[in-house]
Amino acid sequence: MTFPSQILDPSIKSWPNAWRKTNLLACNKLKTKLIISCEHAVNTVPAKYSSFFKDNEAVLSTHRAYDIGAIELYETLVQKLNPDYCLKGEVSRLLIELNRSLHHPQLFSDFTKSLSKEEKEELIANYYRPYRAEIENFITSNIKSNFNILHFSIHSFTNELNGIKRNADLGILYDPKSALEKEFVRIYKNELSMHLPSFRVRFNYPYLGTADGFTSHLRKKFPQQYAGIELELNNTYAAAENFREIQMKLGKALVSVRPKSIILSSQAL
Ligand SMILES: [Zn+2]
Which residues span the domain enclosing 95? 20-261
Element at 233 (helix H, strand E): strand 226-234
- Compute the C-alpha angle 113/37/197, nearest 5°: 115
pTM: 0.88
In a domain, 14, yes or no: no
In a domain, 50, yes or no: yes
Contact between 82 and 70 (Cβ < 8 Å): no
Calculate the average pLDDT of the chain: 86
Ligand 1 centroid from CA 198, angstroms:
24
User: Which pLDDT band, with edges at 50, 70 and 90, does 128 fall under?
Assistant: very high
Ligand 1 centroid from CA 133, angstroms:
18
174 Ramachandran zone, left/alpha/beta (phi>0; psi -120 to 50): beta
Ligand 1 centroid from CA 146, angstroms:
30
User: Which pLDDT band, with edges at 50, 70 and 90, does 269 fall under?
Assistant: very low
Residue 1 has pLDDT above 60, yes or no: no
In a domain, 48, yes or no: yes
Residue type, 141: S
In a domain, 266, yes or no: no
Contacts of 154 (CB under 8 A, 6+ apart): 36, 37, 38, 67, 70, 73, 74, 77, 230, 231, 233
Ligand 1 centroid from CA 128, angstroms:
15
Using DSSP's 3-state secondary structure scheme, residue 161 falls into strand
In a domain, 9, yes or no: no
In a domain, 219, yes or no: yes
Ligand 1 centroid from CA 238, angstroms:
14
In a domain, 190, yes or no: yes
CATH of the domain at 187: 3.40.630.40
The DSSP symbol for 249 reads H
Ligand 1 centroid from CA 1, angstroms:
42
Contact between 147 and 226 (Cβ < 8 Å): no
Residue among 73, 69, 134 nearest 98 (CA) = 134
Q: Which of 46-60, 179-193, 224-238 has the lowest average pLDDT?
A: 179-193
Ligand 1 centroid from CA 10, angstroms:
38
Ligand 1 centroid from CA 245, angstroms:
21
Using DSSP's 3-state secondary structure scheme, residue 10 falls into coil
Q: What is the number of structural domains in the chain?
A: 1
In a domain, 269, yes or no: no
Residue 264 has pLDDT above 70, yes or no: no
Q: Which of 12-16, 115-119, 124-128, 245-249 has the lowest average pLDDT?
A: 12-16
